[in-house]
Amino acid sequence: MAPDNKITFIIPTYNRLNSLTKTVDSIIKQTHKTYEIIIVDDGSTDGTVKKIENYTDIRILETQGRRGPSYARNLAISQSKGHYLWFLDSDVILPDKNIVSRTLAMFKSNKKIGSLGGEIVPLEGNVEQAYGRKLLWDGRNKRVAAYKNTALVECDYLATCNCLTKKEYTEKLKGFDEQFVFGAEDMDFGTRLQHLGLNNYVWHGASVLHYHSQTGRYEDETIRYHHTRVQFIKKHFSSLRFSLVFTVDVFRFITFNIQLLPKLIFMKLKKLPVKKQNILGGWYRVKPYFIIR
């Protein structure tokens, strides 16, 4: 049986060699030393595995091809030995050497905590705020802010760029739902924790610096986001609510296309690059309804 203070850090990665090493270094500097690190390389082509092999006491798992973060995390969960699981992205940095001991103590202080964490986005220029997420009625989400030197703030879920939970909770949920290949896997995980009668909290004292690296991201993230959002509302919402969200999304599709020509003219005048999603964004919103069974 794992010691009740042992943490397994689980970090899926794809082509983020440089940022990943910074993430690992920030863990190694922690005063809390009862942990293991599992890195799941999800088909990287930038030499990630060879570089990470230079570190000692890190387990490296590899997927066969790019399978997505849900699959990668589940693979690590199946081999984890920690009493607690701490999910991190490969572009975050733990901000100080005491964050692990501090966060673990807070987690243990409240039996209603299902997950604890949050992200600080330094590129936005405000490190006084940390963010969790609130689920909106239509399957979208918005930020929930926790300020420095304030108490826990309840949210609907935490982005899995930084999320501490108990392994036993994860086992009850049978891990992450692998149908969510990009996006919504964290929303689904937090929702299911709530179904267990647990709460999700964002706390500035538990938050990491998240740099939102563009390296290793999917090129078609917009359509993937909407696809997994529709999967989520189909899984968790009533048929009536699902129909209402679909109706609103059709209206948004129509509005998008009415505004499309003026928008493209404006971008042309400003010499802004026109991307595929600038033209097909409205269609991306409704397309998943016709392909998800």
Closest CA to 7 of 73, 72, 100, 96: 100
Q: Are residues 131 and 198 in the same domain?
A: yes
Contacts of 38 (CB under 8 A, 6+ apart): 8, 9, 10, 11, 58, 59, 60, 61, 76, 79, 80
1 has a pLDDT exceeding 60: no
Q: Are residues 243 and 188 in the same domain?
A: no
The verdict on residue 218 lying in a domain is no
The verdict on residue 137 lying in a domain is yes
The verdict on residue 229 lying in a domain is no
Q: Are residues 14 and 121 in the same domain?
A: yes
Q: Are residues 202 and 246 in the same domain?
A: no
The verdict on residue 2 lying in a domain is no
Q: Are residues 45 and 189 in the same domain?
A: yes
Q: Are residues 52 and 104 in the same domain?
A: yes
Q: Are residues 89 and 180 in the same domain?
A: yes
Average pLDDT over residues 126-132: 95
Average pLDDT over residues 165-172: 98
Q: Are residues 21 and 113 in the same domain?
A: yes
- For tokens 């992200």, name the residue: 119
Q: Are residues 24 and 107 in the same domain?
A: yes
**Where does a domain end: 190, 210, 230?**
210
Q: Are residues 76 and 165 in the same domain?
A: yes
The verdict on residue 93 lying in a domain is yes
Q: Are residues 19 and 141 in the same domain?
A: yes
The verdict on residue 1 lying in a domain is no
**43 confidence band (pLDDT: 50, 70, 90):** confident
Domain count for the chain, please give it: 2
Write the pLDDT tens digit of every residue in 242-288. Answer: 999 999 999 999 999 999 999 999 999 999 999 888 899 899 999 99
The verdict on residue 144 lying in a domain is yes
Q: Which domain holds residue 263?
A: 238-291
Model pLDDT, residue 118: 97
The verdict on residue 233 lying in a domain is no
CATH number, domain of 33, equals 3.90.550.10
Write the pLDDT tens digit of every residue in 75-122. Answer: 999 999 999 999 999 999 999 999 999 999 999 999 999 999 999 999
**Where does a domain end: 164, 191, 210?**
210
Percent of the chain scored above 90 by pLDDT? 80
**Where does a domain end: 210, 229, 254?**
210
Q: Are residues 23 and 138 in the same domain?
A: yes
Query: Helix crossing, 221-236 with 185-195: angle to 10°?
Result: 20
